[in-house]
Amino acid sequence: MQKKLFVGGLPYSTQQEEVKDLFAQYGEVTSATIVRDRFTNQSRGFGFVEMATEEAAADAIKNLNGTDLGGRKIVVNESRPQEKKAFVNDGARAPRGNQRREQRYR
C-alpha cells in the first residue's frame, strides 16, 4: 500500500527530481511534489513524497528525518490528512453581504 510522506524544511531552490532521487535510495517513489506559491511560483519549502510500500516509507523516515539537504535540516514525517477549516465570524472580520443587513435591523 502506498504511503504519503511530508517533507519540510526544503531549500527554496530544491527541485522535484532532487527530492525524488533522494527518496529513491530507500524504495520505489510513486510521486514527489514540491508545494509552490500560486502567484510567484516559488517553492514554499515543503512537499510530499509517495512511497510504494509502507516499509520503504518507514525506512525513508528513519534515515532522512533530520538530515542536511542544501544547507538546511529537513523534516520527514508521515503525512496527515488536511483539516477542514470552518468559517467562524468571531468579530475579527467585518460581516459580508446579507450578514451586515441582518445586524443593522435587529
In sequence order, the β-bridge partners of residue 3 are 51
Q: Where are the beta strands (DSSP E) in the chain?
A: 3-8, 29-36, 43-51, 68-69, 72-73, 75-78
| Arithmetic mean of pLDDT, 75-93 | 75
pLDDT at residue 105 tops 90: no
pLDDT at residue 96 tops 70: no
What are the extents of the domains in the chain?
Answer: 3-78
Q: What is the pLDDT of residue 59?
A: 95
Q: What is the pLDDT of residue 76?
A: 96
| pLDDT tier, 101 (very low <50, low <70, confident <90, very high otherwise) | low
What does the pLDDT look like over 13-60, one tens digit per residue? 999 999 999 999 999 999 999 999 999 999 999 999 999 999 999 999
CATH code of 3-78, in short, is 3.30.70.330
Closest CA to 76 of 17, 5, 19: 5
Q: How far apart are CA 57 and CA 1, in angstroms?
A: 10
**pTM of the shown model:** 0.75
> Which is higher by pLDDT, 100 or 62?
62
Q: What is the pLDDT of residue 95?
A: 58
Q: Which amino acid is at 52?
A: A
